[in-house]
Structure 1
Amino acid sequence: MGQGVYVNSLERTDDRTRLEYEMVHDVPGVTTHEVSTIVRIVLTVAEEREWEPGTLEAVSRSTDGDRRGTWRVEREWFDQLGDELSELEFSDLVLDTITHAGSKK
């Protein structure tokens, strides 16, 4: 993917995409930067290929394979982006889903 993000696995169904990736940065939890990087890439690929990502579920791992956290984007948020949701509202929804390894959120 670039920018320090390496895809470990990608599983797609008609309504869901599950992405597992690792970050080369030595940061213990999911960062807003990595989330925004991946979302931008997914949106670019979706536009280029005329593809609907559906719900995106992401798992972030360290280069050692340790789980750093998870986050997601609901299908409805992708669908509403630019219409019912501004970019800021969309970002707030996505960032609110971040869970860090060991948290109970």
Structure 2
Amino acid sequence: MTEQRPLDVALENRLMGKGIYLSEWAHEDETVTLEYETVAAPSSVTSHEVGTVVRTLLECADERDTWSPVTLEATSLTTDGEVRGTWRVEADWFRRLGDDLTEVEFSRRVLESVEDET
């Protein structure tokens, strides 16, 4: 049996291939705080990058025997380290996804949480 990489390492490796570079990951209690850099030209957070991070996190989590949904607080940075914006996913949204929360409603909630710095 092979060892699984920690979730943050697996996420970092997969996001790199998509032009998103995980620069910080902190897991405290039931919250994960992450910062990532993107080479995207827009000066604000895009729905594409949010979707990429969330989908990739869910893919990595699905490969684990145990994953407890957590609140995700994300900060998007430029390659110069300037904040482009923030967004979040509540742990409850992860828990309810595919149950009584549709993918469309889940996505709407996440995208409504985006706060641009511009």
* TM-score greater than 0.5 by the shorter chain: yes
Paired letter, 2:105: E
Runs of 4+, deviation exceeding 6 Å: none
User: TM-score, structure 2 length as denominator?
Assistant: 0.83
Distance (Å, rounded) in 2 between the aligned partners of 1:72 and 1:53 = 13
User: TM-score, structure 1 length as denominator?
Assistant: 0.93
Aligned length in residues: 102
How is 1:1-105 mapped onto 2 (pairs within 5 angstroms)?
1=15, 2-49=17-64, 50-102=66-118
SS of 2:104's equivalent in the other structure is: helix
Tell me if the contact between 2:69 and 2:92 (Cα under 8 Å) persists in the aligned partners: no
Distance (Å, rounded) in 1 between the aligned partners of 2:105 and 2:29 = 25
5+ residue gaps, structure 1, are none
Distance (Å, rounded) in 1 between the aligned partners of 2:32 and 2:44 = 21
Q: Which has the larger radius of gyration?
A: 2
Identical columns (%): 49
- Relative to its length, the structure with more helix (as a share) is 2
Q: CA deviation at 1:80?
A: 0.3
Q: Could you say what the CA RMSD is over the residues aligned between the two structures, in angstroms?
A: 1.0
Partner of 2:4 in structure 1? none
5+ residue gaps, structure 2, are 1-14
